[in-house]
Amino acid sequence: MNKTSKFLLSVTLAGAAFATSSSAFPLHSVSAAASTTSASPSTSTSATPTKSSHNPYEVAGIDDPAAFHQFFFTFQQAVKNNDKKAVSSMINYPLNVHSNGKTYKITNAARFIAKYDSIMTPEVKRTLAYAIEDDLFVNWKGVMVGGGELWFGQFNDKIALYAVNK
């Protein structure tokens, strides 16, 4: 049994435990957790959440979910199109880049553009391309893509990428 199969089995068993328990958690939480294991890529939509809806990014300090939605979609497109200048404008500097057990600080847009291909590796790009906004992990540190390859947060009034782990 490969790792993916084991993971899917554990999520299914956890979902079954939630569904049969008398907990106060709504049943849609179980299906949302199970849906994060989907192996098929999904395309992003341009539907924008309303300001009056629940803010899933509040714990990360992001006060406008519609602004995050637009930022995330734009960021994905800029990376997909290899638009280094656009991506560099969506970063909070210094950008922390973690690689091979070391942390490097990219202090400005010119340096980021010069190092773009070594920072935005094919693996990082692939993880971002397959990321579905509803499945992003959010905590007090920010909004995480994949297994922590990318971290976004709000800095003053700007939503930005602040860390890359490769």
What is the pTM assigned to this prediction?
0.68
Is the per-residue pLDDT at 24 higher than 60?
Answer: no
Q: What mean pLDDT do residues 86-112 have? A: 97
For the stretch 37-73, pLDDT in tens is 333 333 344 444 444 458 999 999 999 999 999 999 9
Flag whether 44 is in a domain.
no
The pLDDT-based confidence of 28 (bands split at 50, 70, 90) is very low
Could you give the CA distance from residue 3 to residue 117 in angstroms, rounded to a whole number? 29
pLDDT of residue 32: 38
Q: Which domain holds residue 109?
A: 58-165
Q: Which amino acid is at 145?
A: V
pLDDT of residue 2: 53
pLDDT of residue 26: 36
Q: What is the CATH number of the domain that holds 125?
A: 3.10.450
Residues 112 and 156 placed together within one structural domain of the fold = yes
Residues 28 and 105 placed together within one structural domain of the fold = no
Residues 12 and 64 placed together within one structural domain of the fold = no
pLDDT of residue 53: 57
